[in-house]
Amino acid sequence: ESPEAKAAMIEVVHAAAKQTFIDGFFHGDPHSGNILINDEGTICLIDWGLVGHLTMAERDDLLTLALAVITNDIDTIARVLLRMGTPLDRVNMAEFKAEIARFRAENLEVSSLGDSDASRMIEDFAGAAQKYRVKLATEYSVLAKAASTIEGIVRTLDPDVPIVEIARGYIEPLIKQRYTPQKLLEEALS
């Protein structure tokens, strides 16, 4: 747990959050062999053979999902998860929402992202989608795997890195932009 390792892990989390929420283009296979640090201490991601592309609408769905998780809005979580994939069968919404509420309660304090086990929550979301036969869009599946991989690396090298807090630093400004009076007026008019 050297200061250099902590700084490197913080930078890796910043890079992943920026790629996901700002750029919409992310490294799809960020295992430890694909993350290097050069002599100047700069993080270098190599092997971009697997990447993910998120459209503005897909990033917007991720923001809606994050906001719904923060506010414990189970209805919105369920709706967004269904929109993020393709239901292969009719989904029993009451059971689907109960499943979401159960693992939401297990993973997070009420109304706060805190510093939870984000990869477990991602796995639970994916598991609920699979259980209710909702085929997640490929980009979200790649993103879920990449996020879990990064969290595993970071937690192994420095379990105290505030992953969720760093991600929140990217999510909250985007949510605030989304809900400016001007944006709300434009949406209402359209």
Distance CA 120, CA 124 (A): 6
Residues of the chain with pLDDT under 70: 1, 108-119
Which residues fall within 8 angstroms of residue 39, CB to CB, at 6 or more apart?
none
Looking at residue 72, its pLDDT comes to: 84
- Residue in 42, 23, 44 with CA at minimum distance from that of residue 32: 44
Q: What is the Cα–Cα distance from 96 to 80, expressed in whole angstroms?
A: 12
The residue assigned the tokens 């909702």 is 134
| pLDDT tens string 1-47 | 678 888 899 999 999 999 999 999 999 999 999 999 888 888 999 99
Reading the block at residue 17, the tokens are 């959050």
Q: Which residues contact 45 (CB under 8 A, 6 or more apart)?
A: 15, 27, 30, 34, 35, 36
d(CA 131, CA 96): 9
Nearest to 4 by CA among 46, 32, 37: 37
Model pTM score:
0.81
